[in-house]
Each structure stands twice: as C-alpha cells, then as structure tokens.
Amino acid sequence: MLIKTKAIVLTSIKYGEADLIVKCLTEQGVKSYLLRSIYRSKSKKLKIGYFQALSQLEITAYHNKQGNLNKMSEASVYYLYQTLATDIYKQSIALFLAEVLAYALKEEEENQLQFQYIEASLKWLDLHDSFANFHLIFLLELTKYLGFYPDTSSMSANFFDLEEGNFTISQPFRSFLSGKKLILFKSLIGIKFDDMVELKWNSESRQSVLDILLEYYELHLPGFKKPRSLKVLKEVFNEIS
C-alpha cells in the first residue's frame, strides 16, 4: 500500500556495499525500510543525509503486511533542526534517545498520541537553551505511551516499587527506591519541559535519576537494553553543573 506519512528516523544501518536499512517511527507505527543502492544513487528523492538519528521527514513508501522490509520511494525533510545537529550536548541527547526509542518502540499498530508527543518534544529540545534535564523528563513522560507510567495515588509512601510501578508503605522485596533516590524520583513526576529549571540538580543527581529510569525501562520492557551511547551522554553531561 502506497502511503505518505511523517517519519522520525530511529536507526540507519549500512547493508552490503550500497544499501541502507532504516528504522523509523511513522504515523502508522514503527516501520523498517530497505533503501537499495542509496550510497550510489544521485536521486534527489532519497538522499543519504536525510537519515540521521531523529531526523523528521515526510516520506512516501510502500508498506506491506507480510512483516518484510518496506520500500521507500521518496523522502524530504519535514522539520529542519536549528540547533540539534550542531550543539554537542543536544547531539548526545539525540543519539541516546534514538537508541532508547529503537529498543522501546515495537513494530505495531499506529499510536498517534505517542508520535505527536515524540515529535513535539524533539522540536522543544531544538528550540530551547535550557535542557539539562530534558532527557529525564522525556523518558518518564514516554512511559505514559508505553503503558507503565508510575501510579501516583500513594506518592506520600516511603518506597517506590520499580517492578509494580507504584508507591508503597511497605518495603518491596526487590527493585525499589527509598531515601534520596526516592526524593529525586518524586521530584521528577509531573514536571514539564518548560518547568525543568525547578529541578536544581547537579550532574550526580541527573545520573542517579537516569540510572533509575533505565532500570525502570528494563523491568517493564522485555528485551530492552541500555543504549551504547549512555557512556558518552554521561561524560558530556558531567560538564554541566
């Protein structure tokens, strides 16, 4: 079926000498495409430079229902980033989030609200200068669309059960938060991008919250892996107090 859709690039892997396999989040869900001979092609309809991590495109493609790789016939930049491609800190966030999304999002039916959230969030990051806690807010808010946002009905409790996703007065047997880590986690809940300056965190606190969130993802998403770019992200953000 021939469709035209917005697409956000998650991964692109060279296949053979001239082909490229691209995984995108589209308005129809996560789709993978085989772009044949793109490294040799001089076509203006498909350019290798379009398929960088988190590029926002409009594509024309053929989607099949057999689970095979789809075909893309045309692509153009839908939203041109102003700073995301040049700012080293934003680049490190983009590479990290692209990996997280590639692991977390499955090839399934469309989820328009999820797509709109990711699309709007990336535009926010591109257009703002204060973003040190962006990736933390993004990851927590994304769990709303993945189905395991924390149950906040008992937030006054002294423990958070990472496996069950709720706050509890009794200490869970495994994988829980308490003390300083619990305070940090609670302070993130409900914070929007525009309010992130309220989080007076240093790099140590950010890394602690990031580790918590990644553990939370691992417990709730079968097969989820810590991104390879995590080390780079932590090193870059060590420079931000």
Which tokens sit at 114?
Answer: 């999820």
Do 92 and 145 sit in the same domain of this protein?
A: yes
Domain boundary among 79, 110, 131: 79
- Which CATH number covers residue 213? 1.20.1440.120
120 lies in the same domain as 30: no
Q: Which two tokens stand for residue 229?
A: 């770019």
User: What per-residue confidence (pLDDT) applies to 110?
Assistant: 80
Q: What angle do CA 42, 44, 46 make, to 5 degrees?
A: 90
Residues 229, 115 share a domain: yes
Domain co-membership, 51 together with 139: no
Q: Which of 55, 79, 103 is the last residue of a domain?
A: 79
The confidence score (pLDDT) of residue 239 equals 65
Q: Report d(CA 165, CA 93) in Å as an integer.
A: 25
**What is the tally of structural domains in the chain?**
2
123/165 same-domain check: yes
Residue 116's pLDDT is 97
Q: Are residue 66 and residue 117 in the same domain, yes or no?
A: no
Structure tokens of 148? 């395991």
Give the model's pLDDT for residue 65.
78
Domain hosting residue 39, numbered range: 2-79
3-state secondary structure 40-108: CCCCCCCCHHHCCCCCEEEEEEECCCCCCCEEEEEEEEEECCCCCCCCHHHHHHHHHHHHHHHHHCCCC
Stretches in the chain below the pLDDT threshold 70: 67, 239-241
The pLDDT value recorded for residue 41 is 79
Same domain? 8 vs 92: no
CATH for 19: 2.40.50.140
Instruction: Please state, for a pLDDT cut of 70, what percent of the chain lies above it.
Output: 98
Specify the pTM.
Answer: 0.94
Same structural domain, 103 and 58:
no
Residues 49, 141, single domain; the answer is no
